Amino acid sequence: MPPPLPVPTVLQGLPPAPSPLAVTVVEVPPPAQPPHFPKLDIRGDFGSEVRERVANFRAQQQRFLREREEYCTTTMAKVRAAIRDNSELPRSGK
């Protein structure tokens, strides 16, 4: 048989629990003056930075393309040389 459950303890002096449907309305006064931020003119700097980034990206892509083509050319030259060298070897007859 399991042990008996403990008897709940009632604490004195606690406020009653609010109703689950109770709504508390808190009024928040609007700010006196919204913060003022000076307008920044970034058209010139921003545009030149974007153009510079685009140019750098294109240059990097061109470099990647050249490196891939060089790698492919070198690898294919090695494969062709290996095939040529292997075809010149005498084959054993059946």
pLDDT of residue 93: 55
22-46 pLDDT, tens digit per residue, is 677 778 777 778 777 777 666 667 7
SS3 track for the chain:
CCCCCCCCCCCCCCCCCCCCCCCCCCCCCCCCCCCCCCCCCCHHHHHHHHHHHHHHHHHHHHHHHHHHHHHHHHHHHHHHHHHHHHHCCCCCCC
Structure token pair of residue 35: 């913060």
- Please write the tens of the pLDDT for every residue from 15-24: 666 666 767 7
CA 24 from centroid of its chain's CA atoms? 41
pLDDT tens profile 75-87: 999 999 999 888 7
- pTM for this model (two decimals): 0.43
